[in-house]
Chain A
Amino acid sequence: MTRTSTRPWLLWAPLAAFLLLFALVAVGLLRPAETTVRSRLVGQPMPVLKLPPIATGHAGLTGRERGPRLVNIFASWCLPCATEVAQLARLRARGVVVDGIAVRDTPAALAAFLTRHGDPYRAIGADEASRSMLMLGSSGVPESFIVDANGIIRYQHIGAIGPQDFETILRAYEAARAS
């Protein structure tokens, strides 16, 4: 007596196993790839960033900033960054403190950018080698981090802040301010 005469379903077992594996691989391949890398520092203390000034009228980052704030990583050469300045200005009008980190920028280009698009920033620190991005777990410009009064990073927004993100970010800032 062969195995399959006593248990006919055994004939189908290898095919079933293959189909299971096929389904597993297909699901993995067809799912849209998650390419954004989120920072692991949300919920962790904000690293101490000491960055020199780069814009007239703005101090650099001293690492001793206190109080809830939105830290915006941007650059004058970053095209999407130009689109979010209007939203940052709206947030500032609602009481949000915005500090900026200008990545790989020059004073002249940054001044032109601020004149052209607006200047919602309190302090702006210069980061020539993306060092602060590495310290924050940021993988590109623009990104924004909301830090609460205790210096804990509460929220990360990847990409330019659009009108559709305004409410979410404002609420996250209010929550950070309350904590």
Chain B
Amino acid sequence: MRGRGRARGRVMAFLLLACAAPASADSLLPPSPYADTQLADPRQEAAAAALMATLRCLVCQGQSIADSEAEMAGDMRAFVRTRIAAGEQPEAVRGWLVARYGNWVSYKPPLQPVTWPLWGAPLLFLGAGAWIARKRFRKRA
């Protein structure tokens, strides 16, 4: 009796999982043309790919738009490719997005009074460590 109940439980669980669907739906339209299609010009595609790897997906914020499966990321990729195909410089496209979303959308933070510790702190720590250990660098008498 117990064995049969367990098997039924497994079948039930399988059926439930098979019917499971995400609560938030994807849109009704297919991905934008250039979301997953590369540009014809390899140099432009390389520039676009390099840029896309350093732009943050606004939906899955731990990923770049190059990695993210989110639809918004696809639309952002299509946007980047379209702009670069039209001849725009990658940094201009980055600047356009930063002007609308802020520095958070770019993986390359600009050097500003607020962000200098990103580069300065390691140097400071290195200097502090060297000062603390300065006696060790003298030749032993």
Contacts and interface: CB of A to CB of B under 8 A. Distances in A.
Interface of A: 35, 37-41, 75-79, 103-106, 109, 128-131, 133-137, 139-140
Name, among B26, B29, B59, B79, the residue most crowded by chain A CB atoms within 10 Å (CB to CB). Answer: B29
A104 B100 contact: no
A140 B58 contact: yes
A37 B105 contact: yes
Name, among A76, A105, A130, A133, the residue most crowded by chain B CB atoms within 10 Å (CB to CB). Answer: A130
Name, among B61, B76, B100, the residue most crowded by chain A CB atoms within 10 Å (CB to CB). Answer: B100
B101 interface: yes
Contacts of A41: 100
B100 A106 contact: no
A136 B72 CA distance: 14
Given A79-B23, A134-B76, A140-B59, A106 B101 contact: no
B100 A135 contact: yes
A38 B58 CA distance: 10
B28 A104 contact: yes
Contact of A129 (B25, B79, B102): B79
B27 A40 contact: no
A39 B25 CA distance: 24
Interface string B59-92: 1010000000001100110110000000000000
A111 B28 CA distance: 13
A106 B28 contact: yes
B24 interface: yes
Given A134-B75, A134-B76, A139-B72, A37 B58 contact: yes
A77 B25 contact: yes
Nearest to B73: A130
Contacts of B58: 37, 139-140
Interface of B: 23-29, 32, 58-59, 61, 71-72, 75-76, 78-79, 97, 99-102, 104-105
Contacts of A75: 27
A105 B97 contact: no
Contact of B29 (A106, A133, A135, A140): A106
B67 to A, nearest CB: 17
Nearest to B32: A129
A40 B71 contact: no
A128 B79 CA distance: 12
Contact of B27 (A35, A38, A103, A134): A103
A104 B27 contact: yes
Nearest to B103: A40
A169 B28 CA distance: 29
Contacts of A78: 24-25
A39 to B, nearest CB: 6
B59 A137 contact: no
B105 to A, nearest CB: 7
A89 to B, nearest CB: 23
